[in-house]
Chains A and B, each alone.
Chain A
Amino acid sequence: MDYFAQQLINGLVLGSIYGLIAIGYTMVYGIVGMINFAHGDIFMIGGFIALISFLILVSFGLTFVPLILLVVLLVSMAITALYGWTVERIAYRPLRHSFRLAPMLSAIGMSFVLMNYSQVAQGARVKPVPPIITGGYTLHEGADGFVVRLSNVQIVVVITTIVLLAIFTWLVSRTRLGRDMRACEQDQTMASLLGVDVDRTISMTFVIGAALASVAGMMYLLYYGLVDFFMGFVAGIKAFTAAVLGGIGSLPGAMLGGLLIGLIETMWSAYFSVEYKDVAAFSILIVVLIFMPTGLLGRPEVEKV
């Protein structure tokens, strides 16, 4: 039971990271109707920028951890958001009315560009960082000596996710931008006729998605203590799986899907085999798409002629 509780905590933390990435996929899919294949690599770039800004701040002699975290968070969100904007501007916007597969292929190309760009710029080796947030709480100590722990990093990850989700939900449901986004999702032509700047709204969608992914990248860095140029690929597919599982296009669904994928992956590693945890996640993707293409919270999609 204790072992299960510990895995539950680990799974939820991992799931929050996946959920943050999944929101980017689901938002873009909802509005533009394409899979932003490069989104996983945006997450990786976010991790790198967090790492570099963290190193610089520490070398300047800053020691107050909450201040460092806040600055790193803001810097990496800002720069990564600009990456998201640039990717959309270069690779997707010119293809808005091209044939069906064009944006997907362009996105695959962009994913290669980002991946190899950071490999060239920062080297191929894994970058380790010493633990930034240490300590934690012992929740329960079993009779057999097994300790259920909740570390401070895990608390930070979960709280940051919750706060960001709250801000994000407010943004989508209460602001002008959110209304524009929902309008574009329903009917782009009609929205533009009613004075919504569709191009700008789509750009903002990519910016917000990238900012959330960069937070996920930073959380990944804090939680696992390493980044490398290849980490975006697998994390991206898993986050996409999460978005599909939750119902693509649905924002709460993306978060729910993220948590579920995190839990499934952790439980699979804990009770079956670590080697096959990625196989498990990918199999879920296939199974969900075959039997439940609309996901848990998604709307059925009707193809119009």
Chain B
Amino acid sequence: MAKIAHAAAATAAKPGVDVGFIFKKALISALVALVLFSLMIGVRTEAGPEGQLIYWTRFGDLAGMVGAVFVGSIVVELLRRWWGPVDTPRLMPEGARKTLSVAGRAVAPILLIFTILVPVIFYDQRYILDLGILVLTYVMLGWGLNIVVGLAGLLDLGYVAFYAVGAYSYALLATNFGLSFWICLPLAGILAAFWGVLLGFPVLRLRGDYLAIVTLAFGEIIRLVIINWQSLTGGPNGISGIPRPTLFGIPLVAGENGLAAKLGIAFSPSQRLVFLFYLILALALLTNWATIRLRRLPIGRAWEALREDEVACRALGINTTTTKLTAFATGAMFGGFAGAFFATRQGFISPESFTFQESALVLAIVVLGGMGSQLGVALAALTLIGGFELFRGLDQFRMLVFGLSMVLLMVWRPRGLIGHRAPTVFLERNQAISSDLVKEGHG
């Protein structure tokens, strides 16, 4: 009898919350936090009026932070218990799953139709149009990098270098030789792809994380050269007065030659924004279309295979260097297109726009979107850029939250939050061959 009671108590205790353990854990976390934050947050230093450093204490903030860690630790632990182990498959009712998959298939067309309608709905709201252009630029960059990271599985930390090459190509060609945007756009893409090949050819033999560091170094080199080669690039002052794009030679200005006058309608500054909006939308859709088509070609299949298992690829006779190189160059080309668009939209570019932070942001879009999923990348760009815009007031916390969410995302769902793209083709199941057919047991 006592045994049964004991067993019952044990089963009862199992799902119950172990208060002592959670409390102890939270206490330890708070203690660690106290030591970590003691000097960095408890004391604030600043250069005083005579250039000498002064400091003052902020024990209130310190106590607040430590308390937050204590409470946060308890909450996280409770959530973890409530959620259970990460790997447990979660079964949904058949109906819910069906609705969800229908909804999932409908998201992309609805999003596309909405995007096309944005300039119509928000014609007079400059702010929304500007934001839309910004989001679409990052969608395009994300889709471009997606070819490299998501499809081919090459971690590229210097993608912004190709963006910079594209932007500076257009800016320099247009301001020095007066070439039009439509001639420069393909040139910018080609030049960026050329740089991609130039960098990729020697370094693509390296393993994943070495490759990441080398691309990072390359991105920094390009930026430093742009800063220091003052006679060509204007150095830190950048290039200003970059011509705006024209609609097949017709400028979108108020004058007599402008598009508005030719069409016989009143000029409005929004017209140029609408034009830019559709331009970047077209470029982004071009990227998307090219990616989807490429994925069906042998080369696209090879990229995906490479991402899954490089050694197996080599064993199957795929030339890994050329395969990687094409992915790298294709990604770079779209980066170059986006760069040229950026230059023409801003009318002014400087090296400040091409820092490592930018590369990390685009990479975060691809990772958040689920590495390889086209829709995921678009949604991730919308979420991240929109989120940045929402928290514009909290400027200094922005990157802190950004970094933190990147860490948490990797810890919680390393395969991406929004979508996940499995290889396009794979064997449905492993077939066990009967032992009559092979000489030594299982084949």
Contacts and interface: CB of A to CB of B under 8 A. Distances in A.
5 contacts: A109-B406, A111-B403, A125-B46, A237-B217, A278-B220
A101 B221 contact: no
Nearest to B46: A123
B45 A112 contact: no
B399 A122 contact: no
A99 B414 contact: yes
B410 A106 contact: yes
B43 A56 contact: yes
A57 to B, nearest CB: 11
Interface stretch (B32-40, B286-294, B342-350, B430-438): B32-40
B395 to A, nearest CB: 10
Nearest to A290: B202
Interface stretch (A79-87, A146-154, A177-185, A255-263): A79-87
Contact of A105 (B36, B202, B218, B367): B367
B210 A289 contact: yes
A220 interface: no
Interface string B200-232: 001101111110111011101100110110000
Interface string B33-68: 001101111011111000111010000000000000
A164 interface: no
A86 B47 contact: no
B402 interface: yes
A168 to B, nearest CB: 23
Chain B: number of interface residues, binned into ranges: 35 or more
Interface of A: 34-35, 45, 48-49, 51-53, 55-56, 59, 75, 79, 82-83, 86, 90-91, 94-95, 98-106, 108-130, 233, 237, 240-241, 244, 275-276, 278-279, 282-283, 285-286, 289-290, 293, 303, 305
A127 B53 CA distance: 7
Given A86-B36, A121-B41, A285 B400 contact: no
A276 B402 CA distance: 31
A117 B47 CA distance: 19
A104 B403 contact: no
B136 interface: no
Nearest to A76: B39
B248 interface: no
Interface string B376-409: 0000000000000000000011011011111101
B339 to A, nearest CB: 21
Nearest to A117: B400
A130 B52 contact: yes
B284 to A, nearest CB: 24
B49 to A, nearest CB: 13
B404 A104 contact: no
A101 B220 CA distance: 21
Given A56-B55, A116-B403, A286 B214 contact: yes
Nearest to A83: B36
B399 A116 contact: yes
Given A101-B209, A112-B406, A279-B221, 5 more contacts: A101-B153, A279-B224, A282-B221, A286-B218, A305-B311
Contact of A123 (B35, B38, B44, B397): B44
Contact of B55 (A59, A104, A293): A59
B40 A105 contact: no
Contacts, number: 180
A114 B407 CA distance: 12
B310 to A, nearest CB: 9
Given A51-B45, A129-B53, A282-B220, A118 B213 contact: no
A104 B209 contact: yes
B302 interface: no
A128 B54 CA distance: 11
A305 B414 CA distance: 23
A237 B356 CA distance: 12
A128 B399 CA distance: 25
A101 B208 contact: yes
A118 B224 CA distance: 25
Nearest to B311: A305
A244 B202 CA distance: 17
A77 to B, nearest CB: 13
A53 B51 CA distance: 19
A34 B209 CA distance: 7
Given A129-B53, A286-B214, A109 B40 contact: no
Contacts of B32: 82, 86
B384 to A, nearest CB: 13
A100 B309 CA distance: 11
B210 A293 contact: yes
A75 B218 CA distance: 37
A282 B44 CA distance: 34
Contacts of B400: 112-113, 116-117, 120
B252 interface: no
A105 B43 contact: no
A293 B155 CA distance: 18
B411 interface: yes
A303 to B, nearest CB: 7
Lowest 8 CB-CB distances: which A-B pairs, in order?
Answer: A112-B403, A109-B406, A113-B403, A106-B410, A282-B217, A116-B400, A109-B407, A275-B228
Contacts of B35: 79, 82
A106 B45 CA distance: 30
B174 interface: no
Given A56-B43, A120-B396, A289 B51 contact: no
Nearest to B157: A108
A117 B41 CA distance: 9
A109 B36 contact: no
B224 A278 contact: yes
A112 B356 CA distance: 11
B360 interface: yes
Contacts of B147: none
A178 to B, nearest CB: 25
A48 B38 CA distance: 12
B363 interface: yes
Please indicate which of the listed interface residues B220, B367, B407 has the most CB atoms of chain A within 10 Å of its own CB: B407
A126 B363 CA distance: 29
Given A48-B40, A282-B221, A290-B203, A125 B414 contact: no
Interface in B4-48: 32, 35-36, 38-41, 43-47
Interface string B112-145: 0000000000000000000000000000000000
A110 B404 CA distance: 7
Nearest to A282: B217
Given A49-B40, A105-B406, A283 B47 contact: no
Interface in B208-262: 208-210, 212-214, 216-218, 220-221, 224-225, 227-228
